[in-house]
């Protein structure tokens, strides 16, 4: 339904649609994203900027995405008052064209991250991209250890994939956000959660830096207890959550002294991102519909 042109028009072209969107998206410009980063920083939260967009179709679009990421890196590095990393989607940099085309756009970002001592994380997209994403990541990591990768616990293959990651690299552990066929993912929540816990234990034991990117209170509590038991555990682990999701939990963990980073999406191409957030939580759809009714009533 979300992919229907009517749904897209209703969300992107109406005030209530945009109001819901801007609960989860910091704005359409880098300046708005940086303002959000500063506000989060003032509450003790680290940040990660995500210039929204995916599946670009032309080299020109991929080049524009590359420039946008370079600007985000520079803005984060220039601002003394924020700790902002960036996160990239490789399909925005030309992965649908070829690994080499994508690498040509990603390489300058990797280089700039090294020069500016900034972190660049690679998002994991739908399952057809995993091999190519891991390939580009391996190339990037050889060049600079300022690059990390997301791994999805709903994917059955992730349990094997984590054993072929470069030693000690930074991994963002997520459950996975795409609608995928049953033979490639665990479909029951309890299996996805059990996989998450197993992957976390494996990554920790293999001495990776791990970003625990979830809002799931049970998983967060499990991680907290486990990492508290290590003397320097929190130098390698941080919690990560999405902008606008469980703000209460973000603040509480930060106030208790835990490292928390908020993923800040921004840009004009926010519709696909928003539909994934809606799909994760039916209450978000009700929030949208009630806003629509209230505004038109
Ligand atoms: C920093 C970060 C980076 C991410 N990067 C990727 C990536 O690269 N690739 C990828 O596939 N996925 C990514 N995701 C999305 C992730 O895969 C999940 O789809 C998303 O985090 C929701 O799952 P959950 O782990 O919070 O657990 P869930 O079991 O889905 O949710 C647990 C609880 O969190 C709250 N919650 C979760 N989602 C929402 C929401 N949308 N609105 C309101 N409340 C919500 C609810 O209280 C819910 O009960 C990322 C997530 C984060 C936090």
- % of the chain beyond a pLDDT of 90: 76
DSSP 8-state class, residue 182: T
Q: What would the pLDDT profile of 93-141 be if each residue is shown by its tens digit?
A: 999 999 999 999 999 999 999 999 999 999 999 999 999 999 999 999 9
pLDDT, position 291: 63
Q: What would the pLDDT profile of 235-276 be if each residue is shown by its tens digit?
A: 999 999 999 999 999 999 999 999 999 999 999 888 888 888
pLDDT, position 20: 78
- The alpha helices in 79-126, defined as continuous H runs, are 99-116
The closest of 173, 93, 90 to 137, measured between CA atoms, is 90
pLDDT, position 297: 44
The closest of 209, 204, 214, 212 to 235, measured between CA atoms, is 209
| Pocket residues: Cβ below 6 A from ligand 1 | 123-124, 150, 152, 172, 174-178, 213-216, 240-242, 245-246, 263, 277, 280-281, 284
- C-alpha 236/C-alpha 170 separation (Å) is 9
Six-digit token pair at 170? 């930074």
Average pLDDT over residues 180-204: 97
Higher-pLDDT residue of 237, 285:
237
- C-alpha 176/C-alpha 153 separation (Å) is 7
Six-digit token pair at 22? 């801007």
For the chain, the residue count is 297
158 alpha carbon – ligand 1 mean position (Å) = 17
pLDDT, position 213: 98
For residue 241, report the phi and psi dihedrals to the nearest 5 degrees.
-140, 165
CB 222 within 8 A of CB 231: no
Burial of 80 (C-beta count, 10 Å sphere; 0-12/13-18/19+): exposed
Q: What would the pLDDT profile of 53-75 be if each residue is shown by its tens digit?
A: 888 888 999 999 999 999 999 99
Q: Which ligand 1 atom minimizes the distance to the CA of 262?
A: 1
According to DSSP, the residues that pair with 87 across neighbouring strands are: 121
Average pLDDT over residues 188-206: 97
CB 171 within 8 A of CB 163: no
Average pLDDT over residues 185-204: 97
Q: Quick check: is 46 catalytic?
A: no
Average pLDDT over residues 275-289: 77
- C-alpha 275/C-alpha 279 separation (Å) is 6
What value of ipTM does the predicted structure carry? Answer: 0.97
Which of 78-92, 124-138, 159-173 is the least confident region?
78-92
Q: Which ligand 1 atom minimizes the distance to the CA of 196?
A: 25
- Going from N- to C-terminal start, the domains of the chain cover 29-269
Check: CATH 3.20.20.220 for 29-269?
yes
- % of the chain beyond a pLDDT of 70: 93
pLDDT, position 230: 83
């Amino acid at each position: 339904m979300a992919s229907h042109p009517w749904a897209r028009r209703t969300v992107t072209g109406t005030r209530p649609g945009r109001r819901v969107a801007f609960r989860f998206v910091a704005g359409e410009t880098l300046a708005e994203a940086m303002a959000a980063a500063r506000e989060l920083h003032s509450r003790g939260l680290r940040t990660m900027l995500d210039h929204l967009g995916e599946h670009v179709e032309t080299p020109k679009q991929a080049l524009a995405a590359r420039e946008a990421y370079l600007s985000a890196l520079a803005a984060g590095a220039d601002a003394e008052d924020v700790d902002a990393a960036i996160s990239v989607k490789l399909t925005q940099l030309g992965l649908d064209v070829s690994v080499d085309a994508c690498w040509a756009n990603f390489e300058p970002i990797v280089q700039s991250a090294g020069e500016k001592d900034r972190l660049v994380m690679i998002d994991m997209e739908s399952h057809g991209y995993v091999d190519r994403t891991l390939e580009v990541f391996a190339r990037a990591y050889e060049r600079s250890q300022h690059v990390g990768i997301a791994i999805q616990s709903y994917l059955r293959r992730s349990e094997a994939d984590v054993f072929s990651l470069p030693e000690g690299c930074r991994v963002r552990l997520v459950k996975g956000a795409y609608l995928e066929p049953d033979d490639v993912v665990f479909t029951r929540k309890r299996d996805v959660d059990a996989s998450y816990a197993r992957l976390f234990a494996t990554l920790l034991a293999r001495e990776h830096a791990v970003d625990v990117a979830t809002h799931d209170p049970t998983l967060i509590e499990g991680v907290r207890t486990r990492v508290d038991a290590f003397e320097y555990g929190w130098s390698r682990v941080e919690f990560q959550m999405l902008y606008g999701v469980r703000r209460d939990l973000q603040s509480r963990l930060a106030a208790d002294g835990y490292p928390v980073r908020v993923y800040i999406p921004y840009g004009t191409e926010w519709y696909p991102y928003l539909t994934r957030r809606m799909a994760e939580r039916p209450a978000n759809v009700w929030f949208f519909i009630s806003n629509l009714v209230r505004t038109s009533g």
